[in-house]
Chain A
Amino acid sequence: MSENENLPAQDGPDHSLVPSPTQSDQEIAPGLPAHVWRPTDVDPKAEKRAERQVAGLFVFSMICAVLFVVVYFSFEIGREIDTFLGFGASNLFLGLTLGGSLLGIGVGIIQWARKLMTDVEIAELRHPAASSEDDRATTLKALSDGLEESGIGRRPLIRNTLLGALAFSGIPLIVALRDLGPRNMSHERLESTFWMSGMYVVRDVLGTRINKADLQIGDLVNAEPEGLVPNSEGHLPAPIGPDGQELRPALPHEELLIQKTKSAIILLRMSPNDIVRNPDRENWDVDGIVCYSKICTHVGCPIALNEQQTHHLLCPCHQSTFDLADSGKVIFGPAGHSLPQMHLAEDDEGFLYAMNDFDEPVGPSYWERG
């Protein structure tokens, strides 16, 4: 113990800044503890046993792989499927055998590493992360030599055109981003649906027209415009108006699906006294039958989760709730617009048709709509 022990480190014996270990340091850090062997290291029997275990797991994996092939060919799928404890047998055993095959390899390797592979503590000295001074100097010199030899400093024309070329090469990428955005998205497409004046309402799936006499109070009908739902013979009828006029031509299949998603509506019959009469929608219902877009104005989920007694329509996606007795107003949740209502009318026989397309865009908000 010298009297300088509280001072900063001084030069050690061979001019490094690291002080030589003192007696007290060695007492504090006595080094690694003595190695303790595993049973498999000291007992040949245990070693043999572990070896057999690992090999057994690998064999298990092989058996599972073979069984997978057997299962693949032996179980019936399709209409008359084989079952096992109520599960589809093919899927169940394909999964179990493939899983067992992979698990056997994994567990085997881990067992091998833990029981049999070398098990000695290794001390690894910590080295500085930076390269040596010589290496760094050499690299920097090579770089500056390269710059010098390329003459980029002396030839500004080449340098500037190169920079320009690099900048311009980004332009195709930026232009290609346009493909991620909506294409052909005219206002007309956003703001209008298949519905038009005089178009009959038909039941979704069944494709039959709806008479107001069909519906009782409390009835909820999921419906579509005529011309989008195949009839019982599987044909798409062209939509015919109440005066017998043909309204629209038939649609190609892809366009049909788009129109169907936009035009989905729900009809709900309630007591006419329950309806809150807003001045601009005085007679939009037919004897208490109201009609709304089925597409949530939040992010466009189809909604039909209605509470009969409260006339509250709930969207299952984010719990937006609309009051169908009061012009589809939002009474809860993140939706920003009322559910678009359709002006409903009846023909001489009481069949329901649309007076007009929706007077506002259906579905979620977008930039121009606000």
Chain B
Amino acid sequence: MLLLGLVMAGAAYAAFAPAQAQQESSIDNEALVAEGRELFLVGCSTCHGLNGQGQLDVNGNQLGPSLQGVGGAAVDFQVGTGRMPMVQPGQQNPPKNVAYDDDEIAALAAFVQSLGPGPDVPREEDYSTDYLDDLSADERDAAINRGQQIFLTNCTACHNFNARGGAMPRGGYAPTIRGVSNKHIYEAMLTGPGQMDVFSDGNIPPEGKREVLAFLETLQEQPQQGGFSLGGLGPVGEGLYVWLIGIGGLVGFSVWIAAHTTRSKKGKAEA
């Protein structure tokens, strides 16, 4: 009877315990971390070390930086945009074809997140701008305006006033933000990949980040009011077009004006 009672109590506890879901997810997470570790050992450990502690080459140069404490968001950004695995070290690590599928990226992120505390992969409600649809037109405009102000203050120095990127010292460049998913932009702000500064939640709060994303969406939806954007890189690029195509066209036109007209072999009939 006592045994039965104990079993019943245990079963009831197991069935109704609030910790169950959490426990399951932590078991899930453990499995994910284990899977991520497998992938990491194969794909990343050559440069980042078997425990993500970073690796020096034989000359003592840093082969890959430590990943302890960079967080899952950095992994999701670097691997999710194809920047990692890297082809070769250099001043600039360009995005390319993504090497892992979404589940593998999630596993890698979970593994790196388990190495040390850092910004984790943001949830969809963090970076989704759908909440704007619930606002009135004026509130939406105000949010997008604020996003623009934050963008102009913090981002345009490197990424250009219309988010097309720009040159950086010693052959590097700030990449374009156009066409990049909200999730990846949000992660880039959180983690500061490469030479980019960090814009953590303490620096620009999450709602400020969402407003920036909302502004970027508006920016990209905008029609080209002034005709062709000509690369959108400002006066230097536009000047190039003016001098080559604009002035070149005028020169061609003047040559045509001054050219000889067609001549006839016939003589004029004397009246």
Contacts and interface: CB of A to CB of B under 8 A. Distances in A.
Given A38-B261, A115-B261, A304-B157, A215 B266 contact: no
B197 A220 contact: yes
Interface in B31-78: none
A114 B202 CA distance: 72
Contacts of A119: 261
A307 interface: yes
Contacts, number: 120
B171 interface: no
A307 B168 contact: yes
B208 interface: yes
Given A43-B264, A87-B224, A87-B227, A305 B154 contact: no
B203 A310 contact: no
B37 to A, nearest CB: 26
Contacts of B150: 205-206
A223 to B, nearest CB: 10
B192 to A, nearest CB: 5
B3 interface: no
A36, A39, A305, A310: most-surrounded residue (chain B CB, <10 A): A305
B196 interface: yes
Contacts of B225: 81, 87-88, 91
B100 interface: no
Given A38-B261, A39-B262, A81-B223, A218 B192 contact: yes
B153 interface: yes
A43 B226 contact: no
B123 interface: no
A211 interface: yes
Number of chain B interface residues as a range: 35 or more
B231 interface: no
Nearest to B152: A205
Nearest to A314: B169
A214 B208 CA distance: 14
B82 to A, nearest CB: 21
Given A86-B224, A87-B224, A216-B198, A36 B169 contact: no
Contacts of B172: 307
A219 B266 contact: no
A112 B197 CA distance: 64
Interface in B192-209: 192, 194-200, 202-205, 208
Sort chain A's interface into a size bin: 35 or more
A219 B158 CA distance: 15
B257 A110 contact: yes
A66 interface: no
A307 B169 CA distance: 9
Interface in B148-184: 149-150, 153-154, 157-158, 166, 168-169, 172
A83 B204 CA distance: 35
Interface string B110-138: 00000000000000000000000000000
Nearest to A211: B202
Given A41-B264, A205-B146, A88 B157 contact: no
Given A37-B266, A39-B264, A92 B202 contact: no
Interface in A286-314: 303-310, 312, 314
A305 B165 CA distance: 12
Interface string B222-235: 01111100000000
26 contacts: A36-B263, A36-B264, A36-B265, A38-B261, A38-B264, A39-B262, A39-B264, A42-B269, A81-B223, A86-B223, A87-B225, A88-B226, A205-B149, A205-B153, A214-B200, A214-B203, A215-B200, A216-B198, A216-B202, A216-B203, A219-B198, A220-B154, A222-B153, A307-B169, A308-B197, A310-B195
Given A215-B202, A216-B198, 13 more contacts: A36-B263, A37-B263, A39-B264, A42-B268, A87-B224, A87-B225, A110-B257, A216-B200, A219-B192, A307-B169, A308-B194, A314-B169, A319-B169
Interface of B: 146, 149-150, 153-154, 157-158, 166, 168-169, 172, 192, 194-200, 202-205, 208, 223-227, 257, 261-269
Interface of A: 36-39, 41-43, 81, 83, 86-88, 91-92, 95, 110, 114-115, 119, 203-206, 211, 213-222, 268, 303-310, 312, 314, 316, 319, 321
Please provide the 5 A-B residue pairs with the shortest distance between their CB atoms, ordered closest to farther.
Answer: A214-B202, A220-B197, A218-B198, A304-B157, A88-B225
